Chain A
Amino acid sequence: MLQSFKMALKSIWGNKMRSFLTMLGIIIGVASVIILVSIVNGYMSYMVESFTSMGVNRITVRYTALPSRSIDVDEFYDFYEENGELFESMSPNVSVNVTVKHGTDAMEQTSVTGCSEEYLDIMGYELECGRNLLYSDMAARQKVAVVGAYVASELYGSLENALGETVKLNGDGYTIVGVIERQTEETSDFSDGCDDDFVWLPYSRAVKMSRNASITNYIFTSRDISQSGTCTDTLKAFLQEKMKSDSLYSVTAMSALMDSLNEQIAMMSMMLGGIAGISLLVAGVGVMNIMLVSVTERTREIGIRKALGAKRSVILQQFVIEAAVTSTIGGIVGIAFGSLASVGIGTLMGIDAPPTATAVLVSFTVSVGIGLLFGYAPASRAARLNPIDALRSD
């Protein structure tokens, strides 16, 4: 057995070019499996991460208030407190359509939202300076506002300058108590309507400004993403009880979007894995081809060995081991190459794409398996050669 390995290595070394070309097929096959799977995995976790920062645990609730039937903010707060084990935070969400002004400067596209003090956590933003809205601001209907970085820098020159300044909404002056740190990364994104172009004020003020009787939009966040199904069901039960008709309300969980995203990514991963698998298969056919050539080329050698007393099993073993060693070496080089390349490409794409253990294991097993499988047919052909015919060949 050991002797067979030595012989296999010798024969591989003796036909460097041919062995290298055979291995190249396997190297490319294995490396592409690893690269594709790792990149897709890396991309997937990147997506999940960015979705989480966007708030996958968010559940938005909207209902249509009727003159006869509506739900008070306090009822929502009661519900929220009763189900504290399910929900992490909650905020009313009142969109107000007003122009934001400071002196003669006006901002048309700024989104103005009435919300609670928990809105900051829900959005996952951080304060740049100043303070967040407070519960007391809600209760006292304070004319205070927290503004985004774009509003602050457009109207007041810089983020710090905005603190303590007054911003005019619908003619009323609101004192800016806090500025949120910048969310956009690119300079070109820092423009009207961007993620930094917003004003938050206490929902109790906003609802007055909007001239609606009740607040119909709320945002909840679940404590645990896996519990988001229970959360939506609980919310639906609450709304059903109050509104009596499911056409009057809707509950949308972000995690449902996430699920479909995951599904798509899994499909993409399968598809790319399949393509890479085909390249492995092609590599296997390459191994078979080379082994067949090798058997034909070495017919005389096989004849000599058989004349000297080599049994079929010994010849079979020699060629199978040779095929297996070739594909194993190719597989190892492919793993090394694929791992390096996937880290490299990951870095270029700005994602973390370490080679996954599964990809390494599967592609290695498949490459060795292919070597054995496709090496077997030529090997058994070699083993069955008639020594007389084999000796006669040139």
Chain B
Amino acid sequence: MTEAAGKEKEPLISLRGIHKIYYMGDEEVRANDGIDLEIREGEFVAIVGKSGSGKSTLMNIIGALDVPTDGEYCLGGQDVSDMTDNELAEIRNRMIGFVFQQYNLLPKLNLLENVELPLLYAGLDAKERREKALASLERVGLKEKWRNYPNQLSGGQQQRVSIARALAGNPSLILADEPTGALDSKTGREVLDFLKKLNEDGNTIVMITHDNAIAVEARRVVRIHDGQINFDGDVKDYAAIL
């Protein structure tokens, strides 16, 4: 447990002075304009913001899909800010489990193969892959359906498969991008409850959303506005200012 204790001191995610600047023609777009943020292991953070606020850019940086123009991003003690393409791929594979709005399952692979994908890229052998993937599917209650293809499932079930895929590699961080965006409110509720349960089990979850009603399900809320954080605090305080 000394390791866990060590991590307690060092935040899992540490963003310092993050800038991301795009150029659209001659126009400079400051999508992230000086973001400082720390997220510790075991937190459930909602990053909320309107469209165009810069929350997606922030998600891409946290998800190691992109590198900041300026600033420092440490994930699990490693500086990710200026890693190469291949190094980023490895970080994504080992540290981050993605849950996308559109599930992003591969339609031509069955559920098991879909969940196995990150394990495949991690270089695990077939037996180990299968075991872990099945265990992961069991956690989301879809083990029996492993032979099915994504299009044979409801939206809620597909999102659960994508959560299983995110969990399969036992990542340090679950990054959920509008996880309920494509679902009706009932199944959206189920997915949120499931994420909460995962958090209670000790998983660190960062959820990106534009919807305050979803954001208040988290334990901590970070609001982005014009590329900067204009609220960062406990969900109760956030609910109070709504």
Q: Are A310 and B89 neighbours in the complex by a CB distance under 8 Å?
A: yes
CB-nearest residue of chain A relative to B57? A388
Q: Are A309 and B89 neighbours in the complex by a CB distance under 8 Å?
A: yes
Which of A11, A303, A309, A388 is the one whose CB lies under 8 Å from B121?
A: A309
Residues of B within 8 A of A310 (CB): 89, 121
Residues of A within 8 A of B118 (CB): 308-309
Q: Are A388 and B66 neighbours in the complex by a CB distance under 8 Å?
A: yes
Alpha-carbon separation in the docked complex, A3 to B119 (Å): 12
A362 an interface residue at 8 Å Cβ cutoff?
no
Residues of B within 8 A of A312 (CB): 85-86, 89
Q: Are B89 and A304 neighbours in the complex by a CB distance under 8 Å?
A: no
Residues of A within 8 A of B121 (CB): 305, 308-311, 314
Report the contact-size class of chain A (Cβ under 8 Å from the partner).
20 to 34
Alpha-carbon separation in the docked complex, A312 to B93 (Å): 13
Which of A10, A309, A387 is the one whose CB lies under 8 Å from B108?
A: A10
A65-91 interface with B by 8 A CB criterion: none
B30 an interface residue at 8 Å Cβ cutoff?
no
Alpha-carbon separation in the docked complex, A10 to B106 (Å): 13
Alpha-carbon separation in the docked complex, A13 to B85 (Å): 31
Alpha-carbon separation in the docked complex, A300 to B101 (Å): 14
Report the contact-size class of chain B (Cβ under 8 Å from the partner).
20 to 34
Q: Are B165 and A308 neighbours in the complex by a CB distance under 8 Å?
A: yes
Q: Which of A309, A310, A311, A388 is packed against the most chain B CB atoms within 10 Å?
A: A309
A282 to chain B, nearest CB (A): 29
CB-nearest residue of chain A relative to B121? A309
Q: Are B65 and A307 neighbours in the complex by a CB distance under 8 Å?
A: yes
B73 an interface residue at 8 Å Cβ cutoff?
no
Q: Beta-carbon contacts of A291-315 to B below 8 Å, as 1s and 0s? A: 0000000001101111111111110
Q: Are B92 and A301 neighbours in the complex by a CB distance under 8 Å?
A: no
Alpha-carbon separation in the docked complex, A339 to B164 (Å): 51
Alpha-carbon separation in the docked complex, A264 to B92 (Å): 64
Q: Beta-carbon contacts of B57-78 to A below 8 Å, as 1s and 0s? A: 0001001011000000000000
B209 to chain A, nearest CB (A): 17
A251 an interface residue at 8 Å Cβ cutoff?
no
A14 an interface residue at 8 Å Cβ cutoff?
yes
B94-114 interface with A by 8 A CB criterion: 94, 98, 100, 104, 106, 108
Q: Are B98 and A307 neighbours in the complex by a CB distance under 8 Å?
A: yes
Q: Are A309 and B90 neighbours in the complex by a CB distance under 8 Å?
A: yes
B122 an interface residue at 8 Å Cβ cutoff?
yes
Residues of B within 8 A of A308 (CB): 92-93, 98, 117-118, 121, 165
The 7 A-B residue pairs with the shortest CB-CB distance in the complex, in nearest-first order:
A309-B93, A309-B121, A308-B118, A311-B89, A304-B104, A311-B86, A309-B92
The 13 listed contacts between A and B (C-beta, < 8 Å) are A10-B108, A301-B106, A308-B93, A308-B118, A308-B121, A309-B89, A309-B93, A309-B121, A311-B121, A312-B89, A313-B86, A388-B60, A388-B65
Query: 4 additional contacts, CB 8 Å, given A309-B93, A311-B85?
Result: A307-B92, A309-B89, A309-B92, A309-B122
Give residues in A with beta carbon < 8 Å to B.
3, 10-11, 14, 300-301, 303-314, 387-388, 391
